[in-house]
Each structure stands twice: as structure tokens, then as C-alpha cells.
């Protein structure tokens, strides 16, 4: 481009833009437009964070309520089963919410001046900490109670899934109805929608117990011919099913 050509192109650009502005074919957005957009972005970001926090607290609650945290103490097979039964759907939803939040924050200096990993770890850590604190409140226990009575719409089935039977993975819960040296008899009769009702003889691993009649326990081990070869047995808190 030579000097004359450059000048002509620059002049044409300026003329075209000014003409569109003067004719009103291009209009300027009002301050209110940007204010609404800003408030909308902040609102969506806050909602995404709160929802993420709720989902994390549900993950903590479901692991505790189902007793699956005991699996981590039952050796390699227990750890594998823990990850198999981990509420991955909730976890993926949480990650998706955090990615949305991180994307929304990129519009702000705070969001883009910090590296992606640092900001992700920051919001994930904040969400996990708040989620853990919410888990200590009676919120989820109350929601589980409503779900059990069929009074919790939309997410009721998610709460009920905490009670799902995992016999095929070697996970059993129930009350002790008989004690014998090296073994116990376990029964579970909650008559709910899942198929975890039954009575089993549990061969105890060395060093477990002592247990008492009526005590509720969490058992991990394969079911072979009606007998559970337990690799781990832990007493459940009395408030757990």
C-alpha cells in the first residue's frame, strides 16, 4: 500500500463509520445495558458457585451416609470399590459448574490475571471447604428424610440412590441377629425400592469386632453361597440406615 492509498482507505473507513452512526444504523448500548450484563454475569457466577458447593456437600454426605468411606480402610480391593461407587455423576456436574464459573471469571481482571490452574484450585478449594461445612449441617439429612417420604421432587431419586444396593460389588449393610466365634449373622429388611434386603452369614476377618447383637454394621467382601467372606467390617453410626 502506498501513502495515497493508505490515506484513501483510512478516509473511507472513517466516512463509513460516521455515516452509519449519523444515520442511526449503528447505535450505542446504554450504561444500563452494561450494568444489567455485569449484574447478570455476577449472579450466574454466584449461582454456579453455590450450586457447586451444594453438589460437593452432597458428595461428602452421600459417602458418609452410605458408609462407603469405610472402604478406604479395607485394603486395595476396598479402595478400588470406593472409586467404583464414588458419586461420579455429581462430581462431573461439579467440575462442569466450576469450569463455567472459571469461564465467567475470565471477563474480569481477577479471572484472567491469574493462571487457569491457580484460579481453578482456588474456586475448587473454596467450594470443597464450604461444601464440607454444609455437610455438617442437618440440610442433607432433612432432604434425605423428605426423599424417603416421597416428598422431595426432582432430586428425590438422587438422595434415594444413596441407599442403593451394592451386593454385586461386595458391599452390605445390616443389623447383627446372631453371633458365633469368627462369624456373625446379618440381616437387612428396609422394604424399600432397592434389592438389598436379605440375611447372610458373615465370616469375620481376623482382628475384627467385638460386635453385639442388634448392632448395625457395614460389611465388605464377596458373597459366596450365602456367606460373605468379609475383608472388612465396621460399625455404622446409629443414625445411619
The residues binding another protein (CB under 8 A) are 6, 9-10, 12-14, 16-18, 20-22, 26-31, 33-34, 106, 109, 112-118
Residue 8 C-beta: closest distance to another protein, Å: 10
**Assigned C-alpha cell, 124:** 475448587
- Only one residue has cell 425400592, namely 193
**Rounded least distance, CB 13 to another protein, Å:** 5
- Dmax over Cα atoms in the chain, in whole Å? 103
Contacts of 126 (CB under 8 A, 6+ apart): 49
Q: How far is the CB of 24 from another protein (least distance, A)?
A: 11
Nearer to another protein, 18 or 213 (CB): 18
Which residue, 4 or 31, is less far from another protein as judged by CB? 31
Return the number of the residue (21 or 46) whose C-beta is nearest another protein: 21
Nearest distance from C-beta of residue 151 to another protein, angstroms: 44
Task: Quote the CA–CA distance of 139 and 209 in Å, as a whole number.
Answer: 33
Task: Please say which residue, 25 or 238, places its beta carbon nearer to another protein.
Answer: 25
DSSP for 65-121, written as a single string? HHTGGGGGGSHHHHHHHHHHHS-HHHHHHHHHHHHHHHHHHTTSHHHHSS-HHHHHH
Amino acid at each position: 500500500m502506498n501513502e495515497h492509498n493508505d490515506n484513501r482507505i483510512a478516509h473511507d473507513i472513517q466516512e463509513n463509520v460516521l455515516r452509519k452512526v449519523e444515520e442511526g444504523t449503528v447505535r450505542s448500548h446504554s450504561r444500563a445495558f452494561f450494568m444489567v450484563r455485569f449484574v447478570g454475569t455476577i449472579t450466574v457466577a454466584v449461582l454456579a458457585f453455590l450450586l457447586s458447593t451444594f453438589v460437593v456437600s452432597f458428595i461428602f454426605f452421600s459417602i458418609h451416609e452410605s458408609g462407603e468411606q469405610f472402604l478406604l480402610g479395607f485394603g486395595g480391593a476396598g479402595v478400588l470399590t470406593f472409586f467404583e461407587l464414588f458419586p461420579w455423576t455429581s462430581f462431573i456436574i461439579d467440575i462442569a459448574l466450576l469450569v463455567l464459573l472459571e469461564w465467567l471469571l475470565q471477563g474480569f481482571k481477577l479471572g484472567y490475571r491469574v493462571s487457569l490452574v491457580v484460579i481453578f484450585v482456588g474456586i475448587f478449594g473454596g467450594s470443597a471447604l464450604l461444601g464440607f461445612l454444609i455437610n455438617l449441617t442437618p440440610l442433607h439429612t432433612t432432604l434425605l428424610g423428605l426423599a424417603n417420604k416421597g416428598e422431595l421432587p426432582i432430586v428425590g431419586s438422587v438422595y434415594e440412590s444413596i441407599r442403593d444396593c451394592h451386593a454385586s460389588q461386595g458391599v452390605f449393610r445390616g443389623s447383627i441377629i446372631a453371633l458365633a466365634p469368627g462369624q456373625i449373622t446379618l440381616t437387612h429388611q428396609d422394604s424399600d425400592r432397592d434389592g438389598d434386603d436379605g440375611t447372610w452369614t458373615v465370616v469375620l476377618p481376623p482382628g475384627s469386632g467385638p460386635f453385639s447383637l442388634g448392632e448395625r454394621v457395614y460389611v465388605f467382601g464377596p458373597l459366596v453361597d450365602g456367606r460373605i467372606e468379609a475383608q472388612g467390617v465396621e460399625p455404622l453410626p446409629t443414625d445411619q440406615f
